[in-house]
A and B are shown apart, each in its own frame.
Chain A
Amino acid sequence: MNHLNEEQLVLYHYGEAQDRGDAAEHLESCESCRANYQALQRVLAAVDNMPVPERNEGYGAEVWRQLRPQLGDRTARVASRWSEVRSLFQLPRWVLAGGLAALVVGAFLAGRFWSQPTPNAAPSIAQAPSPLPLSPQARERVLLREIGDHLERSQLALIELINTRTNGAVDISAEQVLARELAAINRLFRRAAADAGEPGMAGVLEELELVLVEIGNGPVQLSADEFTALRQRVGDDGLLFKVKVVTAQVRAKQRDASRELAANRS
């Protein structure tokens, strides 16, 4: 056997050499390789001396003390979002889902989303099958704000994700939690848009939902290829652009609704 080169010695040291038996035999018989290997062992033994600051016995408890409120915050954050909306409608969550969907349907049917509002539009919304004890204008503003917020959050989440720089695998565990949350909310708006015969908006929301579900339920680790494909789907294939356009339309409507309200009050 030829002399062992440095790479072979390193792999041998870590038990990764393919021909470990041959390498061991060679080291037995070859003084120069043996000396080289011993030098390597001395260096790696010195690395073991790398100091790590000691943690005291209470370190784990301290970590938990700091961590626990953050876990609570996360739960509370999701809960408070629902609670905020729920308190608006004073209804339990499952009714809220139906109510909000009905509200969306009502708004779509009334044509207040994509056409100019008319004085007759408000009664149409009021006639929508909604049990919500709010005025039509208030419902519309809440709805527009909710949809706009949702679309903006989705945009930000996607932008942040596709701008992650990587040379290899990407861990998207944190993004997955948010993606699942957004997908659940998105589903509500998407169904309502479809029921209300708004195929354009429903289409964009469907596309968005597919990507959110894919991110939320996919692997925690994406390979470089998988990440590139996702990035292309979100960025290059125009999903982000479409979401931006819809967001801009919703926000414009929201501004119109606020102006209308201000005019009615004055």
Chain B
Amino acid sequence: MMEDSDAALVTRAREGDQDAFGVLVERHSTRLFQLAFRMTSNEQDAEDTVQETFLRAYRQLDRFESRAGFATWLHRIAANCSLDLLRKRKRQDESGDAVDADGAEPVLSGAPTPDQYVFHSEVQQTVEVTMKQLTPMERTAFVLRHFEGKSIEEIGRVLGTAPSATKQGIFRAVQKMRRALEPVVNATS
């Protein structure tokens, strides 16, 4: 049996068919989780972001323009949710009250735990730590460009930045990544 297209499911969901929206949720959750995790570096935050993304999407279904592609639209919402979270964490970090209710590690905190060292290679660890040290803007720009392949224009739309500033954000992220990773990569190659 042929699967319903995203557009057909969106139409049904707009008409009040929640099950149709459920199919969209099931279809896109994993990819959204990957994006959210790369943005937040925290499993729980990423799962919360996925939930928040679908909630926002559901409330905004009438605003979705089918020519945009549902997945693209969803990813833009997820990037915004993640960015909001990163900024919130940064503010908490700056005000010195970066304490997670469940004791989880704050997104922009420093060194990884010893357990993480055990389970990940040095390169992976360095990537993770460096990602956490990027500003929310740099991180968003980098993840959307490097992992999601989004255009400068689209990234700028999420960040509210001009193309030149968006490019600068990507460049600064890569520069920081390179500074941190090059010694490790060279040592292991």
Contacts and interface: CB of A to CB of B under 8 A. Distances in A.
The 8 closest A-B CB pairs, nearest first, are A169-B160, A60-B26, A168-B160, A60-B29, A64-B25, A63-B29, A171-B80, A64-B22
B7 interface: no
Contacts of B60: 173, 176, 220
Given A16-B167, A49-B123, A168 B159 contact: yes
A70 B55 contact: yes
A55 B22 contact: no
B29 A50 contact: no
B53 to A, nearest CB: 10
Contact of B177 (A43, A63, A68): A43
Contact of A47 (B43, B50, B146): B146
A167 B137 contact: yes
Given A43-B174, A47-B127, A223-B160, 18 more contacts: A6-B178, A11-B167, A16-B152, A43-B182, A44-B174, A50-B38, A52-B37, A52-B38, A55-B33, A59-B33, A60-B27, A60-B28, A63-B26, A63-B51, A71-B18, A168-B160, A174-B59, A176-B59
B105 to A, nearest CB: 14
Chain A binding surface SS class: helix
Interface residues of B, number: 58
A86 B124 CA distance: 59
Contact of A64 (B26, B33, B182): B26
Contacts of A40: 174, 178
B160 A50 contact: no
Given A43-B185, A59-B30, A220-B63, A14 B160 contact: no
Interface in A152-188: 165-171, 173-174, 176-177
Contacts of A55: 29-30, 33
A51 interface: yes
Interface in A26-78: 39-40, 42-44, 46-47, 49-53, 55, 59-61, 63-64, 66-68, 70-72, 74
Interface in A218-243: 220-221, 223-224
Contacts of A6: 171, 175, 178
A121 interface: no
Q: Tell which of B28, B29, B160, B177 has the most Cβ of chain A within 10 Å.
A: B160
A74 B171 CA distance: 42
Contacts of B158: 169
B29 A53 contact: no
B160 A52 contact: no
B26 A61 contact: yes
Contacts of A64: 22, 25-26, 29
A51 B128 CA distance: 8
A224 to B, nearest CB: 6
Contacts of B181: 43, 46-47
Given A16-B167, A224-B160, A63 B178 contact: no
B91 interface: yes
A91 interface: no
A19 interface: no
B58 to A, nearest CB: 6
A61 to B, nearest CB: 6
Q: Tell which of A14, A221, A224 has the most Cβ of chain B within 10 Å.
A: A14
Nearest to B43: A53
Contacts of B26: 60-61, 63-64
A14 B123 CA distance: 22
